[in-house]
Amino acid sequence: EVQLVESGGGLVQPGGSLRLSCAASGFTFSTYSMNWVRQAPGKGLEWVSHISSYTNTIYYADSLKGRFTISRDNAKNSLYLQMNSLRAEDTAVYYCAREWAIWGQGTLVTVSS
Amino acid sequence: QAVVTQEPSLTVSPGGTVILTCASSTGAVTSGHSPHWFQQKPGQAPRTLIFDTSNKHSWTPARFSGSLLGGKAALTLSGAQPEDEAEYYCLLSYGGAYVVFGRGTKLTVL
């Protein structure tokens, strides 16, 4: 079964850091580009970042201003999102997506003191 | 940054037909924007219905179809079912991997 499972979310104070993970299974992870998307409570979807299959191309949403870093480990079938200098407005469910066909169930990040 | 506009809400009768649209602030939507459509129900992750304007996944119900219509991307639902009540998002690509989601259309089947 093709599956993506996010983890690493939780409660963090403003200014703190978190690292999200996305574990892939059921397909050849290394051959697909991946995306992170977030959804603030009661709001719409917002694209966060993209990484190509062999990490040669990386893009970020302009709004992130260099605070987030996407990476992947094809040997571990895993995608990551390092989030630094977190703000209240980063509070959201974070989804990983295989290109745009397969989505994980999401992990909630709450930034609050 | 481009803004992608969708109808905030639409209502369709059971068995009826409704068209959701997706417009770009930069001009007409073309196949080059690789329009995608997603369905999201409360408490669930998004599910992709349509990719690259009009292509369906194996799980996409036949009653959904995608097209370009009057300079916009369009998602047509023919023969609406109660289970189609959901939020629908479109996604447009603007070069490379830069993409923008629309704000979503809340579809009510009533």
| A68-112: pLDDT as tens digits | 999 999 999 999 999 999 999 999 999 999 999 999 999 999 999
A44, A59, A105: residue with CB nearest B104: A44
Please list the ranges in chain B whose pLDDT falls under 70.
Answer: none
Nearest chain B residue to A63, by CA: B1
User: What's the rounded Cα separation, in Å, for the pair A80 and A108?
Assistant: 15
Rounded to whole angstroms, how far apart are CA atoms A40 and A56?
29
Write out pLDDT tens, residues B9-27.
999 999 999 999 999 999 9
Q: What is the pLDDT of residue A56?
A: 77
Whether residues B97 and A52 touch (CB distance < 8 A) is answered with yes
How close B14 comes to chain A (CA, Å)? 26
Tokens representing residue B59 in the block:
């799980």
Q: Is the separation of the CB atoms in B66 and B35 below 8 Å?
A: yes
For the residues A15-37, what does the mean pLDDT come to?
97
The pLDDT value recorded for residue B61 is 97
Are A33 and B97 contacting, i.e. CB atoms less than 8 angstroms apart?
A: yes
pLDDT confidence of residue B69: 96
Is residue A95 a contact partner of residue B45, using CB atoms and an 8 Å limit? yes
Half-sphere exposure of A62 (CA within 13 A, CB side): 5
Query: Per-residue pLDDT averaged across A24-36, rounded?
Result: 96
User: pLDDT averaged over chain A?
Assistant: 96
Q: Go through B40-50 and write b for each residue having 16 or more CB atoms within 10 A of its CB, e for each that does not.
A: beeeebbbbbb
Taking all residues of chain B, what is their mean pLDDT, rounded to a whole number?
A: 96
Residue matched to tokens 């073309």: B30
